[in-house]
């Protein structure tokens, strides 16, 4: 066993020991949590809708500007964002809470300094930045994620799962060590599938021509997630959509916007499907966020990373039975990506910081009775 793997097992053991001493923070109505990420989706579009400066061929790579403007351009930011993300603004904004509209004094940021994917996912899942995670090819995560920590509890053992279109999620969740089922990239999601629908989906994963070698299509993963929820009934679930980031890097603002709207449709579909299942109805919380921001100008909106100003700015949304319906936060607030891990645990009545004291505190205002 290497020094690094031995250290990781020490962390796992520490998490188990803290769990064994009891980690209940308070009674909550939430019994299931889904953490959803749309990779690289900017706060600017989430809160303001389509950017008119990018609805063109030169800066946005748009193929049919007239069609795109008809789809997404509106006279006001409120109208434009509702056209882009209808479920987000008709349901989540009315029944939950949203952070990150800097124009209204609400700031949400990453704290890892790198401002790209693996460091961002690790920060949100472990509650703190780690300077060792400085590459998208950093290898198996040496840190115990809140998903692995919850899976160590008898109540959640075998009821935790992760789905992501990016192949690196196998390492981000350290599937080999944690034992959490992770369906990442182009890996067929069901393997020894039990139903004709699952076998068909596995076949499509295996035989479809790939636009990106390391990123599967969001639509394929969506069907896998829905099937898994209906047959396996996880209690804690991660869903990572990747096309928004890929199309932004390709400077295709048209496809970026359409991918964002599809993610909104997928979230709505998953929410409604889960509300139809007794286990999930009125006892499930969705946390929605992004792994990093992007640049804010006409040229650098496609990029992110340490040297890109504004790529530290993100957004966070929460919808569930414990979250007071305060909607879009407009008072001066500052929250961080690192608060997501402890928030996820606290919604389930668990104190993640008891096991990981240097993790950031939960977002208290999204949990009823907490201030």
Sequence-ordered strand ranges (E) for 84-171: 97-99, 106-109, 160-164
Query: Does residue 302 contact residue 294 with C-beta atoms inside 8 Å?
Result: yes
pLDDT at 208 > cutoff 80: yes
Which CATH number belongs to the domain containing residue 97 in this structure? 3.40.720.10
pLDDT at 11 > cutoff 70: no
Alpha-carbon span 174 to 121, nearest angstrom: 12
> How big is the chain, counted in residues?
371
Band (pLDDT 50/70/90 cuts) for residue 10 is low
Band (pLDDT 50/70/90 cuts) for residue 13 is low
Provide the pLDDT for residue 332.
73
Which pLDDT tens digit goes with each residue over 229-259? 999 999 999 999 999 999 999 999 999 999 9
pLDDT at 24 > cutoff 70: no
Query: Does residue 237 contact residue 161 with C-beta atoms inside 8 Å?
Result: yes
Alpha-carbon span 315 to 85, nearest angstrom: 14
Taking residues 317-335, report their average pLDDT: 93
Taking residues 339-350, report their average pLDDT: 98
Which pLDDT tens digit goes with each residue over 101-154? 999 999 999 999 999 999 999 999 999 999 999 999 999 999 999 999 999 999
pLDDT at 337 > cutoff 50: yes
Q: Among 180-194, 235-249, 268-282, whose mean pLDDT is lowest?
A: 180-194
Q: What domain count does the chain have? A: 1
Range 166-181 burial, b when 16+ CB lie within 10 A, else e: bbbbbbbbbbebbebb
* Angle subtended by helix axes 218-232 and 196-207, to nearest 10: 150
Taking residues 360-371, report their average pLDDT: 84
Alpha-carbon span 341 to 121, nearest angstrom: 10
Alpha-carbon span 328 to 326, nearest angstrom: 7
Mean pLDDT of the chain: 93
Q: Is residue 371 part of a domain?
A: no
Provide the pLDDT for residue 21.
44
Q: Is residue 155 part of a domain?
A: yes
Range 80-102 burial, b when 16+ CB lie within 10 A, else e: bbbbbbebbbebbbeebbbbbbe
Q: Which domain holds residue 156?
A: 3-366
List of residues 6+ apart from 45 with CB closer than 8 A: 51, 81, 84, 257, 260
Q: Which of 111, 121, 118 is nearest to 147 (CA)?
A: 121
Q: Which of 319, 249, 231, 370 is nearest to 30 (CA)?
A: 319
Band (pLDDT 50/70/90 cuts) for residue 20 is very low
Band (pLDDT 50/70/90 cuts) for residue 99 is very high
List of residues 6+ apart from 347 with CB closer than 8 A: 28, 30, 33, 285, 287, 320, 322, 366, 367
Provide the pLDDT for residue 333.
80
Provide the pLDDT for residue 140.
98
Q: Is residue 316 part of a domain?
A: yes
């Amino acid at each position: 066993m290497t020094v690094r793997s031995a250290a990781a097992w020490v962390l796992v053991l520490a998490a188990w020991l803290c769990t064994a001493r009891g980690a209940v923070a308070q009674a909550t109505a939430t019994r299931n949590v889904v953490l959803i990420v749309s990779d690289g989706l900017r706060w600017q579009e989430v809160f303001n809708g389509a950017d008119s400066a990018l609805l063109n061929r030169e800066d946005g790579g748009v193929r049919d500007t007239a069609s795109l403007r008809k789809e997404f351009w509106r006279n006001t930011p409120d109208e434009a964002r509702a056209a882009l993300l209808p479920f987000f603004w008709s349901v989540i904004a009315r029944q939950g809470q949203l952070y990150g509209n800097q124009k209204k004094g609400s700031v949400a940021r990453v704290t890892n300094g790198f401002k790209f994917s693996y460091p961002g996912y690790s920060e949100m899942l472990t509650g703190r930045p780690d300077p060792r995670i400085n590459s998208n090819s950093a290898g198996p995560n040496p840190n115990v994620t809140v998903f692995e920590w919850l899976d160590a509890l008898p109540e959640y053992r075998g009821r935790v799962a992760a789905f992501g279109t990016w192949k690196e999620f196998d390492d981000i969740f350290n599937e080999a060590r944690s034992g959490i089922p992770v369906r990442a990239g182009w890996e067929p999601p069901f393997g020894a599938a039990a139903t004709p629908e699952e076998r068909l989906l596995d076949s499509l994963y295996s035989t479809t021509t790939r636009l990106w070698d390391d990123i599967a299509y969001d639509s394929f993963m969506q069907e896998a997630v829905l099937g898994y929820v209906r047959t396996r009934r996880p209690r804690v679930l991660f869903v990572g959509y990747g096309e928004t980031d890929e199309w932004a890097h390709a400077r295709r603002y048209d496809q970026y916007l359409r991918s964002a709207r599809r993610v909104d449709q997928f979230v709505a579909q998953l929410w409604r499907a889960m509300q139809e299942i007794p286990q999930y109805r009125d006892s499930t919380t969705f946390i929605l966020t992004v792994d990093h921001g992007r640049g804010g100008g006409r040229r650098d909106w496609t990029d992110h990373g340490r040297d890109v100003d504004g790529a530290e700015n993100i957004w966070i949304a929460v919808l569930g039975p414990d979250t007071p319906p305060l909607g879009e936060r407009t008072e001066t607030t500052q929250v961080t990506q690192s608060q997501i891990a402890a928030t996820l645990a606290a919604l389930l009545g668990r104190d993640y910081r008891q096991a990981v004291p240097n993790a950031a505190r939960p977002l208290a205002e999204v949990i009823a009775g907490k201030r």
